[in-house]
Amino acid sequence: MSVVSEIDHWVFGALKNENVRDIKTTVVGGSVSGDGYTGTIVFVDVTAVADNDEVREYSLAIKIAKRPPTEAELFHVAYVREMFVYDEILTSFLTLLRATVDFMPRCWTTASTDTCDVIVFDNLKKQGYELHDKMKSMNVNHIRLAMKAYARWHGMSLALRYLHPETFRKIEDTLSDEGFLKTIEGVWRNGKFDKVVSFSRDRWVKVLEDDPDLLGKLQEKLGSQPVHVADYIFDPPVKNQTVVNHGDCWNNNFLFKYGGQDKENPLKIAMLDFQIAVLHSPVRDLTHFLYSCASEHELSHMKEFIDLYYESMSDLLRQLGCDPDEVFPRSWLADHWRKYSRYSFVMGNLVINLCFGKAEVFDDLSEMDLSCLLVEENEAACAARIRALARHFVEFEL
């Protein structure tokens, strides 16, 4: 089947319940080098005719992961997980909780074949959404929107567990699959990927070598050396204190919609890419996002962000008929911060290094030349973010 025929096939499948005919597709673009997405994204404009002869227009984003033998397991398990989030978890939130989810794109259909996995979404870029510059920290206004989105996502998880325990147990069984976690751990410990992890670890040591006191406190808080991101993947969550994690909380997994040319005050946010969603502490998402996307200035507002998050989540839980003090009391956040923020420090440091590297760094991490991470004109800005991250991780208490 040709690429055009494949795209037509997936579009027809996506619109099968729309009662339209004479479907015509036009490929108008796709993901580019540096976007950092697994697989390929193809943007397609569609026209079709409804039963009443009305001409309808659709703008779709088709996310495709071909499965070459060497990467079949990694790509397939990641896409299957994201399909589960949209097909089962999001559907449960919408139908059982009757919740409003306005921070994720509409998913039209999902499909798996012997050679690829496919998910078809609305093309949010046609609706005015755009990526934030990954080399710039997100300002306070962007972060507030993200905190509110995470509050709703996590709050729906908690409400579903409390109000529909049997449904949640089925989700729990799928997301707690140890085989998936071992696959992800194996990726990070693979020799080719491991060199990127080792580089980022050596980088923070070099950045902090002129501040031995901070470096010593950092190493003490992290525990045994050397530190590897895979060391924390299996940090056991506290039973009955977990939510469905977004899991991949870096800059390019968010889109923002602005009013005109004002890029400082976003109006809406969309969360993307749930391929490594797991059941874990909400703090894993919050710290991963903040440590990957914030600079020293934004990190100084941390308590404000956490207050906004918890108040927003509590409001939603009350609307859904739950008592936040019973379902997830505020004190648990502080406990979880102490237990689980190490993972996010290591991930945040890794993401910062990648964001300040060359665009092609995201094309294939397994084959990446480490020189892609050494961009002279970005060195000072990268080091400042790493230093601010280390100091905040060492000093902050919730």
- pLDDT of 159-216, one tens digit each? 999 999 999 999 999 998 888 878 877 777 776 677 888 888 899 999 999 999 999 9
Contact 151, 289 (CB under 8 A): no
**For tokens 């993401």, what's the residue?**
351
DSSP string, 338-359: HHHHHHHHHHHHHHHHHHTS-G
Per-residue pLDDT at 33: 56
Q: Which residue has the higher pLDDT, 260 or 21?
A: 21
Euclidean distance between CA atoms 113 and 6, whole angstroms: 11
Euclidean distance between CA atoms 280 and 340, whole angstroms: 10
> In this predicted structure, which of 86-90, 185-189, 315-319, 339-343 has the lowest mean pLDDT?
185-189
> Is 90 exceeded by the pLDDT of residue 361?
no
> Is 70 exceeded by the pLDDT of residue 325?
yes
Q: Across residues 294-320, what is the average pLDDT?
A: 98
Euclidean distance between CA atoms 325 and 239, whole angstroms: 17
Per-residue pLDDT at 118: 94
Per-residue pLDDT at 373: 80
**For tokens 């193809």, what's the residue?**
42
> Is 80 exceeded by the pLDDT of residue 348?
yes
> Is 60 exceeded by the pLDDT of residue 264?
yes
Q: Across residues 85-95, what is the average pLDDT?
A: 97
Helix, strand, coil share (%) of the chain residues, nearest 5? 55, 15, 30
Per-residue pLDDT at 291: 97
Of the candidates 285, 283, 281, the residue with the CA atom closest to the CA atom of residue 246: 285
Per-residue pLDDT at 360: 63
**For tokens 């670890």, what's the residue?**
201
Averaged pLDDT of the chain: 90
Quickly state the pLDDT bin for 227 (edges 50, 70, 90): low
Per-residue pLDDT at 77: 86
Q: Which residue has the higher pLDDT, 357 or 109?
A: 109
Per-residue pLDDT at 223: 81
> Is 80 exceeded by the pLDDT of residue 71?
no
Of the candidates 390, 32, 31, 15, the residue with the CA atom closest to the CA atom of residue 217: 390
Per-residue pLDDT at 254: 98
Per-residue pLDDT at 97: 95
> Is 90 exceeded by the pLDDT of residue 301?
yes
Q: Which residue has the higher pLDDT, 89 or 230?
A: 89
Q: Across residues 143-166, what is the average pLDDT?
A: 98
All domains of the chain in start order, with CATH:
71-104+130-395 (3.90.1200)
Alpha helices in 164-241 (DSSP H): 165-175, 178-189, 191-207, 212-222
Per-residue pLDDT at 199: 87
Q: Of all residues in the chain, what percent carry a pLDDT higher than 70?
A: 90
Euclidean distance between CA atoms 366 and 279, whole angstroms: 27
Contact 57, 46 (CB under 8 A): yes
Structure tokens at 180: 């998936």
Q: Across residues 14-28, what is the average pLDDT?
A: 95
